[in-house]
Amino acid sequence: MIAAAWTCLLAPLAAALLITLGGTRLSRRGAGYLATLSVAVSFVAAIVTFAALLGDSPEDRYHPSTLWSWLTAGQLDFGLRIVVDPLSVLMMLIVSGVGMLIVAYSIGYMDRDDEERRYFAYMAIFVFSMLLLVQGGNLLMLLVGWGLVGLSSYLLIGF
């Protein structure tokens, strides 16, 4: 379940990096397909996480996971941490499901635009940011997700 939650979070980030690093070697339509595929992978991973969470008893439906700790001082522990609980899984399903539909629709809408690759990289970063916001396991991750949502919204509006 935790591996599926990390997959849900990191798939759009990986697509954004691949689109950015691929540059013109990746076709404009290929960038759209890659972004759509990554958000679809996130949606499937969210469904897997939801199904695994249903198997838990109601009082055991809280699963934190820390990839690494950045700062530890006494009882404070700030790190790359996500939480899987009923609310975060519901939001993962909504963000990745609606995001997949929007990115898939954008393939046709953005057809023949000169900067299609940049748009799909921005969309993948936006979905990643929203997922980080809803899965963040501490205040630091929530603030990072919130800041990235603001940045990616600014970039998409400016596009």
pLDDT for 40: 98
* 51/84 Cα distance (integer angstroms): 12
Lowest pLDDT segment from 73-82, 96-105, 125-134: 73-82
> C-alpha dihedral over 125, 116, 105, 132, to 10 degrees?
0
112 pLDDT tier (thresholds 50, 70, 90) = confident
pLDDT tens digits along 120-146: 999 999 999 999 999 999 888 999 999
pTM of the model: 0.92
Please give the distance of CA 33 from its chain centroid, rounded to a whole number.
Answer: 16
Report the pLDDT averaged over residues 18-27.
91
What is the average per-residue pLDDT within 84-108? 96
Angstrom distance (rounded) from CA 114 to CA 157: 17
Q: The tokens of 51 are what?
A: 């199904």
Q: Is the pLDDT of residue 24 over 90?
A: no
The average pLDDT across 68-82 equals: 84
